[in-house]
Amino acid sequence: MTTTGPMRTLADVLPSVAATFGLDYGNPLALTPNRDVVLLVIDGLGAEPLRRHRDIAPTLANQVTTTLMAGFPATTAASLASLAVGAPCAAHGIVGYSFAVPDPGGLRVLNALRWRLDAATGPDASDSHPPEAMQHRRSRLQDLAAHGIEVHYVMPGYQGDSGLTRAAFRATGTMHPASTLAEVRAEILSVATHSEASSRFAYAYFGDLDAAGHLHGPESEAWRTVLREVDACVADLLTDLPSACTLLVTGDHGMIEADAVLDLDSRGALHRGVRLIAGESRVRHIHLEHPDALADVTACWTGELGQHARIVSREQALDEHWFGRMPPDPVVRGRIGISSRSRRAAACSSVPSENRWSRP
Residue 325: the pLDDT is 92
In this predicted structure, the answer to whether residue 150 has a pLDDT above a threshold of 90 is: yes
pLDDT confidence band for 257 (50 / 70 / 90): confident
Model pTM?
Answer: 0.93
pLDDT confidence band for 5 (50 / 70 / 90): low
Residue 349: the pLDDT is 61
Q: Under CATH, which number does the domain 95-122+259-358 receive? A: 3.30.1360
**Do the beta carbons of residue 72 and residue 322 sit within 8 Å?**
yes
Residue 126: the pLDDT is 97
Residue 6: the pLDDT is 72
Residue 69: the pLDDT is 94
Which CATH superfamily is 8-89+135-255 part of? Alkaline Phosphatase, subunit A (3.40.720.10)
In this predicted structure, the answer to whether residue 256 has a pLDDT above a threshold of 60 is: yes
Assign 3-state DSSP to the chain and report helix, strand, coil percentages, each to 5. Answer: 35, 20, 40
The domains of the chain are located at 8-89+135-255, 95-122+259-358
In this predicted structure, the answer to whether residue 353 has a pLDDT above a threshold of 70 is: no
Q: Which amino acid is at 184?
A: V
